[in-house]
Structure 1
Amino acid sequence: MTVTFNHTGITVRDLDRAEAMFRELFGFETFSRAPRDPAIISAVIGVDGAEVEVIYMQNGHARLELLAYSSPADRDDYRPRPCDLGSLHVALNVSDFDAAIARAQAWPLEMVGAPVQIDAGPNKGLRIVYMRSPEEGLIMELIEAAAP
């Protein structure tokens, strides 16, 4: 059996805002946008009455699925810390680390911690920072791209 990566799905509040953020800040391009059949979505996610519109975006080999649910009415907003079980983040290589942070803060994304230089692993010697989008609650890790 062959297994390959398909996409990362992110539930967002405002689909237009999230699409613009990933396009303008991180260079993703939209290649699909459409609502889904509520009966199918409800069956897939195990939530009765679910209604959703979905955008697929791509940057190189990385694909994102942005989902904006309009129902059910009792949807909730969770903001786990990066160390909490179930927390996830999207990591993006950036060619100009300092400029990327400045652009992200102007969007605005909020720093979760401080920029640091990594001391081990495949990104050793590079700088990283965790930032959170206040609208989506999503944590994004910006990684200084290695010199060519």
Structure 2
Amino acid sequence: MATDFDATAHHHGLIVSDLDRAIEFYRDVLGLDVLTRFTVGDEAFGTAVGIDGASAEIVHLDAGGARLELATYEPEGEAIDPALNQPGSTHFGLAVDDLDAVAASLPDDVETISGPQTTESGTTIMFLADPEGNLVELLET
């Protein structure tokens, strides 16, 4: 079924409980630039997200050809288990030039699933978790 509009990617969104800690991770550890920070919380927003009285503090970060949106909500909802292979799981992918070098430079407190692994497609990948437990894929093609 064809639509009468074109949709293009705008952002990848992650809900976090500590916005400043998440910003630190994506800015300082992964090198993304903060584009904008704002708060929304009017009646239209609450209606749009289906939570009466909801408000959110939102930050957009520049990830090259993608925009990452980090948001924290009041009131907070329940977190979804971010298991990598479960329906409803999410992750954010970032391409890097030298994954071995990036992996070696990660702070000791960054949780990784494994070190760099080259898949049968020839792509070298690794997954790590941000401070909220959201999965991030780093890949070198």
TM normalised by structure 2 equals 0.85
**Structure 2 residue 141 is the aligned partner of structure 1 residue 140:** no
Q: CA deviation at 1:130?
A: 1.2
Aligned residue pair count: 137
Secondary structure of 1:98's aligned partner: helix
Matched residue SS, 1:53: strand
Distance of 2:126 and 2:105 partners within structure 1? 13
**Structure 1 residue 107 displacement after superposition:** 6.1
CA distance in 1, matches of 2:63, 2:89: 23
* Amino acid corresponding to residue 108 of structure 1 in structure 2: D
Q: Secondary structure at the match of 2:133?
A: coil
List alignment gaps of at least 5 residues for structure 2. none
Structure 2 residue matching 1:19: 3-state secondary structure: helix
Work out which of the residue numbers 50, 64, 84 in structure 2 matches 1:46.
Answer: 50
Pairs within 5 Å for 1:62-141: 62-69=66-73, 71-72=74-75, 75-104=77-106, 106=107, 108-120=109-121, 125-133=122-130, 135-141=131-137
CA contact (8 A) 1:48 1:72 kept: no
SS in structure 2 at match of 1:100 = helix
Distance of 1:56 and 1:107 partners within structure 2: 26
Kept in 2: contact 1:118–1:128 (CA 8 A) = yes
- Give the unaligned 5+ runs of structure 1: none
Secondary structure at the aligned position of 1:66 is classed as: strand
CA distance in 2, matches of 1:88, 1:47: 22
CA contact (8 A) 2:16 2:132 kept: yes
Contact 2:63 2:94 in 1 (8 A): no
Q: What value does the CA root-mean-square deviation take over the aligned residues?
A: 1.8
Helix, strand or coil for the counterpart of 2:26?
A: helix
Kept after mapping to 2: 8 A contact 1:110/1:131: yes
Alignment CA distance shift 1:38-1:107 (3 Å): farther
Percent identity for Structure 1 against Structure 2: 32
Q: Check the 8 A contact 2:103/2:115 in 1, yes or no.
A: no
User: CA–CA distance in 1 between the matches of 2:55 and 2:24?
Assistant: 22
